Structure 1
């Protein structure tokens, strides 16, 4: 697949890297609304957006940049991403809300939002987390992820991609974390699904995180680790490219290779609510 040079979406995952039945867990704990202490004294908060802006205002331009376009983002997505507050805005209750809408706009049948910290904030290593309530419905594809800051010079997937959280809206109890890099991308990514018994991730806020260290990345849901990736797991001859700065992305896609077409019963608008995004580093 040839991907657009500018910011490909977390691309198609055509198969599961694990047996979902082997990853069923008890219900994770859910933090009280708008509270979550630092994960431990091993981490120090270094960057954050608490999304406390007034209702109807856009995300801070000092922290975020909008991606605008409707070319499919390399994944046959069906939405046009805008910089309008109808698609990305504070709700006045401490959340940023990314809203996917069914509406004809610039040749597309849906609109949504996609924002990134590229040129505003980038990090190498650390604990990167967000507290999010996910949307739901067949063909809805929310994601919290990262891309290498060198994407313009080396392109994708050589820049590296860390998918902290993505899921199919028609499978609201299955979370996926994964890595994309040279020779392990798209349907051949290094990743794992996490099946949560008795929980629909759209029904409440949950904390999605990675702890990214030299030669190791671990994924967490509400403080429970469910996947770890190291260079030893890469295909023979593949390179570990997760030793350089990456920026953060939040978006809600509509349709695409990962989720398939929008279901006739999918209700719009659909919203992803983000309570905060925080980045921690090891104290020096």
Structure 2
């Protein structure tokens, strides 16, 4: 039969219908889980449950995800059903009756659930997991999509689910219709083509975009936070994607891997009180971002008899491509030097007093290479090197490729006088895989990590700047040197024509 469209005034009467006491949540009893995990189509993957099944819904609630998402369609006979795709068992849902659809059960024996059955199951014994109603656009007409929207909002209120509900849709008119029907509803838009400021202007509550949209528009993250627009990203299934979103403080992360995300939450810097203050994810192709990076330029050996000339803004030596920064040393004559390379330095707000620095990198190979991830003072408070200090987060030399080193240099502790504080860590695949090189620095100590393994610490002795000059701002440097006192200790391979360090991201956190 043809479904009637209810004006808002009439809908308000419908919303006041009675609800069984054991299903209607009391607002003062709801305490949503304080994690960002939204189970995409329920928590289905790890245990092999059908997507959008009641079993996957119950598992998401048992995991105490902050939300569980499900997808709503309307059948040819106006039944609201849950299924991700517009087709079920090769039948177009909008053109098929519910009786025909349920002839084929889900893989666990459940029948295709109706929205009412699904919502009631989601309310049962649940006071911590949001029910995320995704209203699918109609393949038949816009009017039909708005008709579905009215019916969904009506059912949510009739079942007493409004305090637990979040609405999402790729159809912007559907999102605005939900707000018209229920101004108190929390509504997020999915399509990724509107800025947070546009979302706020239209009275919606959140942006729920594919994570790549935020990588292309990193300013939208700041814009959303400034405008109190909820940040959500889908569908996030890898550790790298999860870590980036967690570092950037997303409110919600929609995933097929809720268990994996829960494990990553325990490891994230945010869980230890760190807040991201500076980063580069290298998502814009071309030269490194000129607002974040400058260059040390020249070929004078840099005090170490190095062989390279560091160039400025030369894409042969520093280039961002496909989400990575490539620092490349090339065998080519420049002035009196036999190699060119790049030495990038953070600029603008790219210096810090205390914090956690993370650099994910894959190191170059070849006898004679000397890559480094390190820090120097911005103001040289105590005079020239080494009095004002140096922090080496990671150094490696090509003749010893399977060991990385972390060090500090001060007036009292440096290699020139044989007192340098340093330690090496065996890392057999530093040149073939990315590893996370990190440093945590506070007023009492500096800790060095590889892949979150703490392997070296330097403590403040309290004896003054000669031993601890690390009470001033430092900036970050990334470079490949060739040869030099250490890198060239066993010579430079005559066949070394090219060496590349790849950097996946740089993140700086502070407390």
Q: What's the CA shift for 1:32?
A: 5.3
Counterpart check, 1:171 vs 2:404: no
- Asked if structure 1 preserves the Cα contact closer than 8 Å seen for 2:278 and 2:509, the reply is yes
Q: Does residue 1:245 correspond to 2:476, yes or no?
A: no
1:183 aligns with 2:412: yes
Q: Against the structure 1 CA distance between its residues 170 and 126, is the aligned structure 2 distance closer, same or farther, given a 3 Å change threshold?
A: same
Q: C-alpha deviations, 1:32-52, integer Å up to 9, x for none?
A: 566635433221111101111
Post-superposition shift, 1:247?
Answer: 0.5
The structure carrying a bigger strand percent of its residues is 1
Out of 154-163 and 221-230, give the one that drifted further.
154-163
Distance of aligned partners of 1:153 and 1:220 in 2 relative to their CA distance in 1, 3 Å threshold: closer
The equivalent residue for 1:90 is 320
Q: CA deviation at 1:266?
A: 4.8
Alignment of 1:1-284 (within 5 A): 36=243, 37-38=246-247, 39-40=268-269, 41=271, 42-54=273-285, 57-83=286-312, 84-91=314-321, 93-151=322-380, 154-186=383-415, 187-196=418-427, 199-232=428-461, 238-260=466-488, 262-264=491-493, 266-282=495-511
CA distance in 2, matches of 1:35, 1:73: 39
Flag structure 1 segments of 5+ consecutive residues without an equivalent.
Answer: 1-30
Structure 2 CA distance for aligned equivalents of residues 32 and 270 of structure 1: 28
The alignment partner of 2:461 has SS state of: helix
- Bigger helix share: 2
Q: Distance in 1 between matches of 2:381 and 2:480?
A: 23
Q: For 1:176, what is the secondary structure of its paired residue?
A: strand
Q: Describe the shift of the 1:70–1:241 C-alpha distance in structure 2 as closer, same or farther (beyond 3 A).
A: same
- What is the CA deviation profile of residues 228-267 of structure 1, one whole-angstrom value per residue up to 9, with x for unaligned ones? 1102398x99431111110010000000111225433553
- In 2, Cα distance between the equivalents of 1:279 and 1:195? 25
Q: TM-score, normalised by structure 2?
A: 0.46
The answer to whether the 8 A contact 1:76-1:256 is kept is: yes
Deviation at 1:104, TM superposition (A): 0.9
CA contact (8 A) 1:125 1:212 kept: yes
Question: Please, which runs of 5 or more residues in structure 2 have no aligned partner?
Answer: 1-237, 248-267
Contact map agreement 2:461 2:467 (CA 8 A) in 1: no
Q: After TM superposition, which residue ranges in structure 1, 4 or more long, deviate above 3 angstroms? A: 31-38
Q: Contact 1:147–1:162 at 8 Å: present in 2 too?
A: yes
1:221 deviation in Å? Answer: 0.3
CA distance in 2, matches of 1:191, 1:103: 33
Q: Contact conserved, 2:374 with 2:391, CA < 8 A, in 1?
A: yes
- Contact 2:462–2:468 (Cα < 8 Å) also in 1: no
Q: Deviations over 1:150-203 (max 9, x none)?
A: 13872111221100000111212101001011121234311111123xx22001
SS in structure 1 of the partner of residue 487 of structure 2: coil
| RMSD (Å), alpha carbons | 2.2
Q: Compare CA radii of gyration and give the structure with the larger one.
A: 2
Asked whether the 8 Å contact 1:64–1:120 carries over to 2, the reply is no
Q: Distance in 2 between matches of 1:275 and 1:79?
A: 24
CA distance in 2, matches of 1:233, 1:110: 43
